[in-house]
Amino acid sequence: MARVSQEHLDARRRQILDGAASCFARNGFHATSMQDVLKEADLSAGAVYRYFRGKDELIAAIVADVLDTVRGILEQAARESPPPTPDVLIPRSLARMREERPAALDGGEWMFPRLMIQVWTETTRSPELAAVLGEGYDDVRRAWGRVVESYQDAGLMSADADTDAVARAMIALVQGSAAQMALFGGVSERTLGEGLRALMAMGPARADI
C-alpha cells in the first residue's frame, strides 16, 4: 500500500476544518450536523472521522488553529525593527487573517468574525472549549506582550508601561472590531487604522484664546 505523505494528510485536515468552519459560521454549532460537515467538505464519513471524532473536536481544532495563526502574525511583527505601531499592526493583522482564512458566507461576508461570535457563545456551554480558548488566549496575549516590549525597546513607549495591560487593550480593539464586522458590518481595516491614528494623535486640551 502506498504511503500517504504528511503534506496530503495536512491538506485533508485543512479541507475538513475549512468545511466545518463554514458550516458553523453559517448555521451555528448546534444547527450543524456532522452530515452537514461531510457535505461541505465533500468527503466520506470515514475520511472525516479519521481525523476528528465529532463536532466538539472539530470546534476545538478550529479555535486552536485560528489562535495559532494569530500568534504567528504577532510574533513576526515583534521581530520587525522598528515594530509597526498599533494603527498599522492591528488593521494589518486583521487583513492577514482575511488572507489566511478567506472563506466567505453565501452573501460574500467574511466568515471569521461570525465564527468568532459563535465560539464565544459556545464557551459558556462547554468547559472543554473554554479551556482550549483560554490556553490559546494566554498564548496570544503573551505574543501581544512581546510586541509591546518591542515598542519599549524601540523607544516608542515608556519603559514603565504595563505590557500586559497594553496587550489586553490591543486585543480588545481587535475583538471589538471583529464583533462589529460580524454584527453590524461596514467596518474595514482602513476605518480601524484611521480611527486608531486619530486616537494616537490626541494631545493636551488647548484653551480657547
Condensed to tens digits (0 to 9), the pLDDT of residues 86-137 reads 999 999 999 998 888 888 877 788 888 888 998 888 888 889 999 999 999 9
d(CA 89, CA 76): 11
Condensed to tens digits (0 to 9), the pLDDT of residues 46-66 reads 989 999 988 889 999 998 988
Q: Which amino acid is at 17?
A: L
Evaluated on CA atoms 138, 60, 123, 22, the torsion sign reads positive
pLDDT of residue 1: 44
Angle value at C-alpha 176, between 171 and 181, nearest 5 degrees: 130
Confidence of residue 8 (pLDDT cuts 50, 70, 90): confident
d(CA 73, CA 174): 13
Phi, psi angle pair for 203, to nearest 5°: -130, -170
Long-range contacts of 200-203 (CB under 8 A, 24+ apart): 200/85, 200/86, 200/87
Angle value at C-alpha 90, between 188 and 29, nearest 5 degrees: 70
Give, as one character, the DSSP assignment of residue 203.
-
Is this structure's pTM higher than 0.85? no
Asked whether the predicted pLDDT for residue 208 surpasses 70, the reply is no
Condensed to tens digits (0 to 9), the pLDDT of residues 136-170 reads 999 999 999 999 999 999 999 999 999 999 999 99
Count other Cβ atoms within 10 Å, centred on residue 63. 22
Which triple of cell numbers denotes residue 173? 480593539
